[in-house]
Amino acid sequence: MAAFEPELSDEQETVRDWIHGFAAEVMRPAAAEWDEREEFPWPVVREAARIGLYSLDFYARQFFDPTGLGIPMAMEELFWGDAGLGLAITGTGLAAVSVFTNGTDEQIGTWVPQMYGDANDVKIAAFCSSEPDAGSDVSAMRTRARYDGAKDEWVIDGVKAWATNGGIADVHVVVAVVDPELGARGHASFVVPPGTPGLTQGQKFRKHGIRASHTAEVVLQGVRVPGHCLLGGKDRLDERLARARERANGGERSGNAAMATFEASRPAVGAQAVGIARAAYEVALDYARTRVQFGRPIIDNQGVAFQLADMRTRVDAARLLVWRASWMATAGRPFTAAEGSMSKLFAGETAKQVTAQAMQILGGNGYTRDYPVERMHRDAAIYSVFEGTSEIQRLVIARAISGMPIR
């Protein structure tokens, strides 16, 4: 395993520059239009697929980068381009990570390629975990999966909320309760193949930010999927549930399918937030250098210059936390102090703070849609909410460092 190095290799820099070029030349010119339209940006995603940026091969190469820095590097550059378009391009990844985390080799080989398709037939996927009454509290999940042994099928009923690509995806990965008595430990993940009867899109959410990314409810009514669509298989599920029952009787805690997916993806989400923060900082820095008031550039005032110093410091610190967590995950090192949650927490809060400071530095211009920091500020707001709120991240960290079941 490669040692942790807080810098990119020449090869990684070449890939970064290639992604940066796409972000600058394709994403940024289109960002405002798709933000206003609030529609899934198929032309942008198809262009990403045409050049190989939206593809299983590309993400697999970054995912298996031995340094662990491939995914966060790619995420930062894409979200530097635009967060809404970035999430449209990367949203399939959460469903793919769920299959990689919970599925068998056969399931990975079967379903992940179908999530991306190819340059001539682009596909997308959705990961469906949150519900109207079950966000941070995954134990409140109501979607049920019942096994029909006579047909070797699982029957799924429920409503999922806040699903990226929900309803328009070709492949959905759905987390459901298989044993209600076990709470969060009685969950399992299922692949719902394309065209499965009973799965429909519910409400499409009109959002404050990341508006180019499609977010909707997914309604499941008597959805039947073959037994082989249970990620990990039934034998593994039965063994896991048996262990969970033993631990429940002994008062021990154990994880669940949804949280395993989120834990694996948190550093990547942190990298997205770093990209937004860096973009806002660069706009503010350029503006402060060129905006003249009282006969001199506003960066010549300590009040502005010190803000920019703090912004750059937070961006760099957030990136290092993300890179450390990504390297640890690749190296198989346990997050003994919840380093994955640390990276997501700090990067998400940094994106919110830095974009707000950028708006302040631009003054009235920053509040208008003529400048991108207004959109960046709206986009950044979600990073203290989705894939684990900042409060949940603090809870995870506090439990890890204290060893106590803090509530």
- Residue 22 CB neighbours (<10 A): 19
Average pLDDT over residues 351-369: 98
Amino acid residing at 271:
A
User: What's the pLDDT tens digit per position in 296-340?
Assistant: 999 999 999 999 999 999 999 999 999 999 999 999 999 999 999
pLDDT score of 190 more than 70: yes
Active site residues: 387
Domains and their CATH numbers in the chain = 10-122 (1.10.540.10), 125-233 (2.40.110.10), 257-402 (1.20.140.10)
User: Residue length, the chain?
Assistant: 407
Report the Cα–Cα distance between both ends of the chain, in Å, rounded.
37
68 neighbors 329 (Cβ within 8 angstroms): yes
Q: What is the DSSP string of 233-254?
A: -HHHHHHHHHHHHHHHHHT---
Q: What pLDDT is attached to residue 4?
A: 84
* Residue 260 pLDDT greater than 60, yes or no: no
pLDDT tens for 126-142 read 999 999 988 777 778 99
- 307 CB contacts (<8 Å, ≥6 apart)? 284, 357, 360, 361
Whether the predicted model's global pTM rises above the 0.85 cut: yes
**Measuring CA to CA, how many Å separate 246 from each of 82, 185, 233, 254, 338?**
47, 11, 20, 11, 25
Residue 404 CB neighbour total at 10 angstroms: 9
Helices 373-380 and 83-90 pack at an angle, to 10 degrees, of 50
Whole-number Å distance between alpha carbons of 232 and 229: 9
What integer pLDDT is reported at residue 252 of this predicted model?
47
For residue 326, the surrounding DSSP H or E stretch is helix 302-331
- Residues contacting 24, CB < 8 A, separation 6+: 81
Compute the half-sphere exposure of residue 8: CA atoms within 13 Å on the CB side of its CA. 17
Q: Which residues contact 156 (CB under 8 A, 6 or more apart)?
A: 143, 144, 145, 174, 176, 190, 192, 198, 220, 223, 224, 225
pLDDT at 254: 47
Structure-token pair, residue 306: 């010190």
Q: What is the pLDDT of residue 256?
A: 57
Is the predicted pLDDT of residue 255 greater than 70, yes or no? no
What does each C-alpha distance from 89 to 27, 54, 123, 211, 232 come to in angstroms? 10, 7, 11, 13, 27
The confidence band for 264, taking pLDDT boundaries of 50, 70 and 90, is: low
Q: Measured between alpha carbons, how far is 39 from 182 in angstroms, rounded to an integer?
A: 39
Structure tokens at 67: 């340094």
* Joined tokens for residue 72: 């966060």
**SS3 string of 259-305?**
HHHHHHHHHHHHHHHHHHHHHHHHHHHHHHHHCEECCEEHHHCHHHH
Give the closest residue to 129 by CA, choosing from 258, 320, 287: 258
Residue 266 to residue 332: CA distance in whole angstroms: 15
The better pLDDT of the pair 188, 135 is held by 188
| pLDDT over 70 percentage in the chain | 96
Indicate whether 5 pLDDT > 60: yes
As given in the structure block, the two tokens for residue 279 are: 């973009």
Task: Report which secondary-structure segment, H or E, holds 218.
Answer: strand 215-226
Tokens coding 380: 């950044």
